[in-house]
Amino acid sequence: MSREADGKIRSIAQRKLFLNNGVELAYYDSHSEDGGAEDGISEVVVLLHGYCGGSAYWEHIAEELEQSVRLIAPDLRGHGLSSAPNDEVYSMELYAEDIAHMLIQLQLHNVILLGHSFGGYITLAFAEKYEKKLSGFGLIHSTPLEDSDAARQNRDKAVAALEENGVQAFVDGLVPKLFAPANLETMREEVELAKQIGYGTALQGAIGTAKGMKARANRTRVIENTNLPVLLVSGANDKLIPAENTFAAGNGATVKTRLESAGHMGMIEQPKELAATILDFVKKIRV
């Protein structure tokens, strides 16, 4: 595994599970460790981070969310404190299987699953196969569309760069592209934080995930055909996934929101606004 130079990994995950498929999954859980239910909290929100990210991506919004919901945020396989299996391709279906195993072991049903960027690709793969386990789902700076030809070529370039230069150099080049240009100067500490989180990605995890994203299917039909509420969040200054791609599919129960000051990292760039958006979505599901 390739990790941050001093060996410390930036993660908010405080628990681990050994899944039936052999993956050791680290995750953050706001629920008390003895399993007792917190007063007035019934909904469970599971947050999936983006590529070369980790559970710590959600640190800025965790406190606000967990006052109203049980919050679970895993370090996905190959990222953060979770293990990095030797699979050549980390498919979105494999990731969805990890989440399904996690929910089974935690005895959770009817959760709200929200995914950031590549976490959104996993969310759609999960909703396609395990919809009955959900009460709602959503994409945050993500898209149901498959990669374009140009994007697939960029995945190959990413793999080559990772193999040649390693994770840290790759993350240093990637992270500044995730923030709105206007935020790069005013949010220097946050940009550095995102890099530190990214350094916790295993080399095999980064390579396998790039190959998995390249191979993923178009899943617009998952949104169009579901009877569940769907949340779609875009950043007005997102240079990676523009709003038209985030909003490429919808149904009668789709909520579309645009964060006006965010690029691709709304959970860090506009945490209060994103937290409020998520909680409003939860309230709609409660009704």
pLDDT along the chain (287 residues), means of 10: 56 96 96 64 94 97 96 98 96 98 96 98 98 97 97 98 98 98 96 98 98 98 97 98 97 94 98 98 87
Does a structural domain hold residue 52? yes
The answer as to whether 267 is a domain residue is: yes
Expressed as residue numbers, the domain containing 98 is 15-33+40-286
Closest listed residue to residue 117, CA positions, set 262, 273, 280, 18:
262
Tell me, what's the pLDDT at 35? 54
Q: What is the pLDDT of residues 12-65, one digit of tens each?
A: 999 999 999 999 999 999 997 765 555 567 899 999 999 999 999 999 999 999
From start to end of the chain, where are the E strands?
Answer: 15-18, 24-29, 44-48, 70-74, 111-116, 134-140, 230-235, 254-259
pLDDT of residue 38: 58
Q: What is the pLDDT of residue 8?
A: 82
* Among the listed residues 45, 20, 19, the one whose alpha carbon sits nearest the alpha carbon of residue 31: 45
The verdict on residue 7 lying in a domain is no
Number of structural domains the chain divides into: 1
Question: Which pair of tokens denotes residue 81?
Answer: 């404190």
What percentage of the chain reaches a pLDDT higher than 90?
91
pLDDT tens digit sequence for 96-117 = 999 999 999 999 999 999 999 9
In a domain, 3, yes or no: no
Residue 173 in any domain: the answer is yes
Of 85, 90, 91, residue with least CA distance to 208? 90
Would residue 6 count as lying in a domain? no
pTM to 2 decimal places = 0.95
Please give the pLDDT value at position 39. 58
Phi, psi of 28, deg, nearest 5 = -95, 135
For residue 231, give both structure tokens: 């949340």
User: Residue 229 maps to which CATH number?
Assistant: 3.40.50.1820
Q: Is residue 208 part of a domain?
A: yes
Asked if residue 9 belongs to a domain, the reply is no
